[in-house]
Amino acid sequence: MKKLELHWQILLGMVAGVLFALAMVQFDWGPKLVSDWIKPFGNIFINSLKLIAVPLILASLIKGVSDLKDISKLSKMGGRTIGIYIVTTIIAVSIGLTIVNVVKPGASISEDTRNELVENYKGDADSKIAQANEQKESGPLRALEELVPDNIFSAASDNGNMLQVIFFAIFFGVGLILIPEEKASPVKKFFDGFNEVILKLIDLIMLAAPYGVFALLAALVVESPSVDLFKALAWYAVCVVLGLALMICVYILFVWIFTKRSPSFFAKGISPAQLLAFSTSSSAATLPVTMERVEEHMGVEEEVASFVLPIGATINMDGTSLYQAVAAVFIAQAFGMDLSFGTQLGIIVTATLASIGSAAVPGAGMVMLVIVLAQAGIPEAGLALIFAVDRPLDMCRTVVNVTGDAAVSMMVAKSVDKLGEPKIKEWSDHYKVEK
């Protein structure tokens, strides 16, 4: 019997997890069973992916930068990468604002429902507001100041400090380029071997992926809020999901136009990473799989993937920025506010910058949303309105974040002539290369 491909195994694990949880909630003891005996295995799976996120970024980015052998190549690739990321983020925010202004989901929130949601999630909202206020009070150049770590070992001990790790890795790689080749060679060989070890660890971890997502989805279902609350926020969720779906179509269109690769090739190539992103809600945790899919199955050469993807996992949050735009206007509508064109233009700018500053971990976008709300003059207490459905939407927007990283890596690779044949051709009938 032919072994199922990874994305089908993960999908089956997700479906099985949901069905198992739906069966368990029929019993009084079921939710506790899932929380105590099933959910921990999902957490172990996420932790194992997070465990190798920092080593992967260090090894792959140092190797990718040092292999360029020329500082001019680094600046060329870096400029194109960041430029494309900013353009796609602006497109994502614009799509979100267009949809939420047309559908007007906030109009469906009644006064009673609004009060119930605010009361139920006030504690969570207050904690996010406190975190955001701490960031706002830190000064305009705090983000730039925190980009440079004072201790790389301290920075590497926290997945929330990905930008600091990326800065060190690029800085270290530049140093390897500037010293004589005979002195740089031993160090480069070490990181080459280190990178291979990390990639092998990814293969081992992914053997457990179907079981990990089974546990994660089962826990999500049994811990979900009541159905009545979901109904009240259904239109808001539809707006976010529709915007995210349109953004994925934009990526596919860009890949087709700029790289001449068929939509089916791109979709099937990135699907395992998308499913894992959906399960973990973390671009950082999904990064190892994204890199493996892009390099092995989508034809992006290692020196491009190892540079573009770690940066994208940290600053390219198109799904997050789209969600922030929809959420901000939705909350304003729920409170009866009519936002002017200028205010919404400000949302585009703020959401773009806030998404760049979002950590690649679950729930980070919620903290940055407070800054977007404050800029637009929207009551921050309205954050409590969207907590009920934030977790499943967080899963969906992480899919878009990961898909955007892969699409940009293909476009950058094509622009520097580093897009070749996949090392593993699983779908040769769909594979097309521009001659």
Q: What is the pLDDT of residue 250?
A: 95
Residue 391: burial class (beta carbons within 10 Å; 0-12, 13-18, 19+): middle
φ, ψ (nearest 5 deg) of residue 4: -65, 145
Q: Long-range contacts made by residues 163-172, C-beta under 8 angstroms, separation at least 24?
A: 163/314, 163/315, 165/54, 165/57, 165/58, 166/57, 166/61, 166/310, 166/311, 166/314, 168/58, 169/57, 169/58, 169/61, 169/62, 169/65, 169/310, 170/61, 170/65, 170/74, 172/62, 172/65
Q: Is 137 helix (H, G, I), strand (E, B) or coil?
A: coil
Q: How far apart are CA 246 and CA 317, in angstroms?
A: 15
Q: What angle do CA 172, 178, 180 make, to 5 degrees?
A: 115
Residue 86: burial class (beta carbons within 10 Å; 0-12, 13-18, 19+): middle
φ, ψ (nearest 5 deg) of residue 274: -65, -45
Cβ contact 109:229 at 8 Å? no
- In eight-state DSSP terms, residue 261 is -
Contacts of 167 (CB under 8 A, 6+ apart): 147, 148, 149
Q: What is the pLDDT of residue 432?
A: 43
Contacts of 270 (CB under 8 A, 6+ apart): 290, 293, 294, 298, 402, 403, 406
Q: How far apart are CA 315 and CA 78, in angstroms?
A: 13
Tokens of 195: 């990178």
Tokens of 124: 């969570």
Residue owning tokens 């920025």:
321
Cβ contact 252:266 at 8 Å? yes
Closest among 273, 302, 267, 275 to 287, alpha carbons compared: 273
Q: How far apart are CA 119 and CA 112, in angstroms?
A: 11
Q: Is 419 helix (H, G, I), strand (E, B) or coil?
A: strand
Q: What is the pLDDT of residue 257?
A: 94
Q: Which CATH superfamily is domain 6-430 in?
A: Sodium:dicarboxylate symporter (1.10.3860.10)
Q: How far apart are CA 29 and CA 331, in angstroms?
A: 37
List the chain domain ranges. Answer: 6-430
Cβ contact 261:297 at 8 Å? no
pLDDT beneath 50, residues of the chain: 1, 226-229, 357, 359, 361-363, 427-435
Q: What is the pLDDT of residue 434?
A: 40
Q: How far apart are CA 41 and CA 29, in angstroms?
A: 19
CA 252 from chain centre, in angstroms, equals 17
- Total residues belonging to the chain: 435
- In eight-state DSSP terms, residue 298 is S
H runs (alpha helix) in 179-208: 181-206
Cβ contact 320:396 at 8 Å? no
Q: What is the pLDDT of residue 18?
A: 83
Tokens of 187: 């160090």
Residue owning tokens 């660890």:
201
Q: How far apart are CA 243 and CA 249, in angstroms?
A: 10
Q: How far apart are CA 11 and CA 27, in angstroms?
A: 26
The Cβ of residue 421 has, within 10 Å, a number of other Cβ atoms equal to 9
Q: How far apart are CA 77 and CA 86, in angstroms?
A: 14
Residue-wise burial string across 48-74, b where 16 or more C-beta atoms lie within 10 A, e elsewhere: bbbebbbbbbbbbbbbbbbbbeeeebb
Tokens of 273: 């990473």
